[in-house]
Structures are given as C-alpha cells and as structure tokens.
C-alpha cells in the first residue's frame, strides 16, 4: 500500500456472541492488532482457529447465518474485507438464531 497509515496495525476489538465464546476461551471481546478487516480475521483465527469454521465456509465465503459489523456497517455489502481499520474500531460478530 502506498499510504503508510493504511499499513500500520491498530487495535480493533472483536465482539463475539455467546454461542461462539466457548471457541475463544470464554471471551466475549478479543482485541487484535491489524490494518484491515481481513487482517482482523487473520489475527482472530491465529489466536482461536476453531472460530474460522463457524464464520466462513471451506471455500472462504462468509456463512449465511453470520453477520459482521465494522462499527455500524454490515460488511456483507462490501466488495472485500481488505478495507483499512482505525484505532478503536469494533468488529461485531452476530449469529442468527432460529426456532420457535
């Protein structure tokens, strides 16, 4: 990247739903250091590899029942996860739950 600021890693907090916390040592919020949203996921999976199969398919696609929010924005509408993050950003992971 030509912009030096975009390549700097910053702290991003990843908020996990209770259904996934057992795969992350019981943590509800995991701080990671990254420069992009994709880097956030890479850092998360380096710490807690079991989460990857719950969030993405084997082909690397976001699972349909999982939503990711970068701050207030749903990432499903992004062309890529290779967008820069800023210090203090939050990545919130939500799982759809169905039943009656």
Q: Which domains does the chain have, with CATH numbers?
A: 4-95 (3.10.20.30)
Judged on CB neighbours under 10 Å (0-12, 13-18, 19+), 95 is middle
Q: How do residues 26-36 score in pLDDT, each as one tens digit? A: 999 999 999 99
Q: pTM (2 decimals)?
A: 0.87
pLDDT in tens, 37-91: 999 999 999 999 999 999 999 999 999 999 999 999 999 888 899 999 999 999 9
C-beta neighbour count of 6 within 10 angstroms: 13
The closest alpha carbon to 37, from 17, 18, 59, 55, belongs to: 55
């Amino acid at each position: 990247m030509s912009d030096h600021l975009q390549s700097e890693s910053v702290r991003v907090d990843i908020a996990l739903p209770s259904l996934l916390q057992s795969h992350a040592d019981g943590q509800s919020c995991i701080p990671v250091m990254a420069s992009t949203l994709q880097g956030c996921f890479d850092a998360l999976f380096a710490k807690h590899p079991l989460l990857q199969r719950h969030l993405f398919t084997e082909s690397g696609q976001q699972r349909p029942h999982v939503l990711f929010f970068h701050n207030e924005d749903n990432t499903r509408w992004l062309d890529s996860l290779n967008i820069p993050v800023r210090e203090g950003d939050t990545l919130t992971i939500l799982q759809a739950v169905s039943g009656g």
